[in-house]
Chain A
Amino acid sequence: MNGSVEDWREGGFGLYVHWPFCLAKCPYCDFNSHVWREVDQKRWREALLAEMRVMHARAPGRPVDTVFFGGGTPSLMPAETVAALIREADRLWGLSSTVEITLEANPTSVEAERFRGYSEAGVNRVSMGVQALNDRDLKALGRTHSAAEARAAFDVARSVFDRVSFDLIYARSGQTEDAWRDELREAIDMAIDHLSLYQLTIEPGTRFADLYDLGKLSVPEDDAAATLYEATQEICEAAGMPAYEVSNHARPSAESQHNRLYWRYGDYAGVGPGAHGRLTRPSGRFATETIRDPSAWMIQVEGQGDGLASVAPVTSQEQAAEMLMMGLRLTEGVRLDRYARLSGEEISQKRLHPLAEDGFIEIDSGQLRVTDAGRPVLNAVLRALLA
């Protein structure tokens, strides 16, 4: 391995907890989610706590900057489970004084009832999967809530939490530019300071992928998707919520700390079925991954304390590539010297120069950034940089 082992402080440290259960599977979602009739809450709480202890043993001695409860649908978790996990993280690592604790929530009335409990448990930010602001599209996306219900749940959330964000999916089947512009303006009126706006993509293994392959589903692609993306940037910027990442918009200092930690290529411990982690140890950086299947994960955790499926070293060169791939998603970009330290060599001028000349990237005091022109074609920029 070339390069030196990076200090974990370079990107900070976060904790991710995966709750793999949903009431129904959304047709576009390829996340590790499962629909179970009954979940033994006590058993799951104990298992998640047990695995968190194993992760702590692998990466001790660093305060937790961020915690994120993702899923699945973590807003189906009993508040006491959330509370127990946060308490245990504080006991093991210690939570930093500015810790951000986010929980993903479905915008239904049932879940809104639990918000108070989550807040008491220590959650200080909620990210809601609103996805669309009209019932027709919500139905097409397989969501079980209505637009009115989502707004009501959002209102409850903002009465409980200081920080509330929500997600929308665009480039839906049949969505016109005008319709999206109207909907996005509505969303901005509703939003506080953070919005995640994702282009709908057809992921393998989903119901949408089956329909798409059969020709029964079409979504705006290429030019049409590019037009919707451009409209998104324009409207959000005008509203003072520019993109700080490809799909994430926030007022200054309202960015999601946890997600930014991924993009800044920090360390994170992943707890729960199918959770990933990146942990820096004295011997190098490791990628961890747990068993995806909830039952199999549970059996292994109860047998040996963790549900790890693999712990693989990540070479410095791979880290350099990952750092660049993640970091250039951010408007702030990456430090070139960090890349050079990891990869053992600098990105050559031969690669940088043409991209800079064509206005896809810019370099300012050692910071490499992708421009507004480069971001929509980031994958091509990365291919050119890493070739």
Chain B
Amino acid sequence: MTDLSHIRNFSIVAHIDHGKSTLADRLIQTTGALSDREMKAQVLDSMDLERERGITIKAQTVRLRYKAKNGEDYILNLIDTPGHVDFAYEVSRSMLAVEGSLLVVDASQGVEAQTLANVYQAIDADHEIVSVLNKIDLPAAEPERVSEQIEDVIGIDASDAVHISAKTGLGIEDVLEAIVERLPAPSGDRDAPLKALLVDSWYDAYLGVVVLVRVVDGVLKQGQKNRMMSKNDYYPIDRVGVCIPKMMTIDELGPGELGFITASIKQVSDTRVGDTITEERRQTEEPLPGFKPAQPVVFCGIFPVDSAEFENLRDAMEKLALNDASFSHEMETSAALGFGFRCGFLGLLHLEIIRERLEREYNIDLITTAPSVVYHVYTTDGGMIEMHNPADMPDPVKIDHIEEPWIQANILVPDDYLGDVLKLCQERRGVQQDLTYAGSRAMANYKLPLNEVVFDFYDRLKSITKGYASFDYQIDGYEMGDLVRMSILVNDEPVDALSTIVHRSQAERRGRAMCEKLKELIPMHMFKVPIQAAIGGRIIARETVRALRKDVTAKCYGGDVTRKRKLLEKQQAGKKKMRQFGKVEIPQEAFINALKMDN
């Protein structure tokens, strides 16, 4: 209903910790959308996990009313997008739903890799971009230098950047004015057939599936029978509304507006991010640019620690999948770990989030196996298998060749650490594409095999740069690689859950590291326990857990009987947390920790 010229739609692009959520909170507070009492820090991140980790997983919107200095009333729609690379596709859809972006950069830290990835998406979406320098009140703030850096690295004019402190509230009015003055109003035709973009969707316990939409043309109304164009699904609209940020039903959403609908849709997987919604009776001729289903790129096995918890785990996974179409799970059986699931994720952060939610919200102790990427295994009979579990590797004689996914990685790092970062990238089979400098920081662009990245790249990068490097990537494509399956044998028996696919050149290093790690993780037994890494029948690394030589109570008399028995019972209970493998007991944490390589 609002005139298009009085609507502004925008997103906020920022690196984690640069103040995106705090700025969003300030905008909501300043425009009076929520009373002070209702404000809790970081209103938009509604999931506990999001608030705790300071990351946004699902896109959310908030409609703000703002009376500008020119005396006119404006509707400002803020869309809060996931900032992380794992959710790049969601981000790109969200970007298409708005016309402009605020680029928030920490005035003391400068541009980070994640900022780059997201700002390029904003540029791709033809956004008008307003630079905002945050934390201007910090003594270390260097607004001029950072403005220059924005111009050098990103290539956008930052001379008129708005200087703010989201924490103290300084400059918030200037941001609101810049949104009104500098961002374009949306365009759209109210009388044209309905054309709306499906931005995101989530499951709400009370409302069912809630769909976030941006109306491009036409009007969305309650009672309308609408079609999702990627499939031929028709739904009558139950509710139309906006988030202020509380959900509020309104009569209709016109062109240029952002809001939500509910339409008795059963599962989130029935809605596809990027889809076009139109009216059944009067369909738009031209759908919005296509829908692309999210492809899991990282896989791992998830098993309950207590096998009796398997059904609970299944229920929990089904519930999570309801709200997350990009998370896949399939039953898997492991000789070492029993019944569990092979799960697919958009990336390592996504994996981490799902795992944490399963443990925290559903209270299930889990064993997670080594993350693996999806390999394309070309067989000699001309077929191709998408392999995401090392256990599924075909007999080597039947393999013609294997391809693995590569990524394009951007790494921003202070000069001092550049040498170590380049060394790490080389070690991980990286191919340098570009190396540029901006001030005292270098930006390295590398092609890297994803397999090396999911292994322990983040952890190593973090530790060698003391946390100063930032890293982001996009999937580049598949390339042939000399890949082999490395098995781990404990006491001469292969432990399926520990086998991994590695590049032949890395096999020895990885095998050695894994055996060394397992040696620390497997407790002493009454016999010596050999730990071997093998490719086919060839042993490439070996360690031995020495046999226990002494474990006996020196003194045990009449008064000790009860106490010693209880101690024994306690040890027995502790043993239940181990996995019996042949004669060897392997603690659960070994399965996860064996793959984490410290220095």
Contact = CB atoms under 8 A, between A and B. Distances in A.
B565 A318 contact: yes
A247 interface: yes
Interface string B518-531: 00000001110000
B558 A278 contact: yes
A257 to B, nearest CB: 13
Contact of B558 (A16, A226, A375): A16
Contacts of B569: 321
A326 B561 contact: yes
A325 B565 contact: yes
A305 B23 CA distance: 76
Interface string A212-246: 00000000001101100100000000000000001
Interface stretch (A33-41, A53-61, A81-89, A268-276): A268-276
B561 A375 contact: no
Contacts of A276: 558-559, 561-562
A147 interface: no
A378 B552 contact: yes
Q: Most chain-A CB neighbours within 10 Å: which of B548, B561, B572?
A: B561
B282 interface: no
B544 to A, nearest CB: 15
A222 B575 contact: no
A374 B317 CA distance: 46
Given A223-B549, A376-B551, A377-B551, A270 B559 contact: yes
B551 A198 contact: no
Given A276-B562, A322-B565, A383 B552 contact: no
Contact of B561 (A225, A246, A259, A322): A322
B552 A246 contact: yes
A282 B555 CA distance: 31
Contacts of B182: none
B35 interface: no
Interface in B521-550: 525-527, 548-550
Nearest to B527: A358
B564 interface: yes
Given A325-B568, A358-B526, A225 B550 contact: yes
Contacts of B205: none
Q: Most chain-B CB neighbours within 10 Å: which of A360, A379, A381?
A: A379
B578 to A, nearest CB: 10
Interface string A267-306: 0101000111110000000010100000000000000000
Contact of A360 (B526, B550, B558, B575): B526
A384 B572 CA distance: 9
A380 B554 contact: no
B549 A199 contact: no
Interface residues of B, number: 25
A58 B173 CA distance: 87
Contacts of A358: 526-527
A329 interface: yes
B49 to A, nearest CB: 38
B232 interface: no
Given A325-B564, A386-B568, A376 B549 contact: yes
A222 B559 contact: no
B575 A379 contact: no
A225 B550 CA distance: 7
Contacts of B575: 383, 387
B571 interface: yes
Contacts of A360: 526
A199 B554 contact: yes
B206 interface: no
B558 A376 contact: no
Interface string A35-78: 00000000000000000000000000000000000000000000
B530 to A, nearest CB: 15
Contacts of A226: 549-550
Contacts of B572: 383, 386-387
B440 interface: no
A268 B561 CA distance: 12
Contacts of A382: 568
Given A325-B568, A383-B571, A386-B572, A275 B559 contact: yes
Contact of A198 (B548, B555, B562): B555
Contacts of B398: none
A293 B527 CA distance: 44
Contacts of A270: 558-559
B553 interface: yes
Contacts of B527: 358
Contact of A262 (B525, B552, B557): B557
Interface size class of A (residues with CB under 8 A): 35 or more
A378 B571 CA distance: 14
Contacts of B335: none
Interface string A307-330: 000000000001001100110010
Contacts of A229: 550
B553 A379 contact: yes
Contacts of B558: 16, 262, 268, 270, 276-278
Contact of A321 (B550, B555, B557, B568): B568
Contacts of B552: 246, 375-379
B583 interface: yes
A246 B551 contact: no
A377 B142 CA distance: 65
Contacts of B571: 379, 383
Q: Most chain-B CB neighbours within 10 Å: which of A200, A275, A289, A318?
A: A318
A323 B562 CA distance: 11
A205 interface: no
B308 interface: no
A321 B562 CA distance: 10
Contacts of B550: 222-223, 225-226, 229, 376-377
Contacts of B564: 325
B375 to A, nearest CB: 39
A354 interface: yes
A306 B527 CA distance: 49
A201 interface: yes
Nearest to A68: B558
A321 B569 CA distance: 9
B555 A380 contact: no
Contacts of B549: 222-223, 226, 376-377
B556 interface: yes
A357 B549 CA distance: 18
A381 B550 CA distance: 11
A229 B554 CA distance: 10
Contact of B565 (A201, A321, A387): A321
B551 A378 contact: yes
A219 to B, nearest CB: 12
Contacts of A387: 572, 575
A229 B556 CA distance: 17
A199 B551 CA distance: 11
A246 B553 contact: yes
Nearest to B569: A321
A138 to B, nearest CB: 19
A312 to B, nearest CB: 8
A354 B582 CA distance: 11
B47 to A, nearest CB: 42
Contacts of B554: 198-201, 246-247
Q: Which 8 A-B pairs have the closest CB atoms?
A: A226-B549, A226-B550, A276-B559, A378-B552, A199-B554, A379-B551, A262-B558, A198-B554
15 contacts: A198-B554, A226-B550, A270-B558, A270-B559, A287-B561, A321-B569, A325-B564, A326-B556, A358-B527, A375-B552, A376-B551, A379-B568, A383-B571, A383-B572, A386-B572
Interface of B: 525-527, 548-559, 561-562, 564-565, 568-569, 571-572, 575, 583
Interface of A: 16, 198-201, 222-223, 225-226, 229, 246-247, 259, 262, 268, 270, 274-278, 287, 289, 318, 321-322, 325-326, 329, 354, 358, 360, 375-384, 386-387
Given A199-B554, A225-B550, A321-B569, 4 more contacts: A200-B554, A201-B555, A377-B552, A379-B552
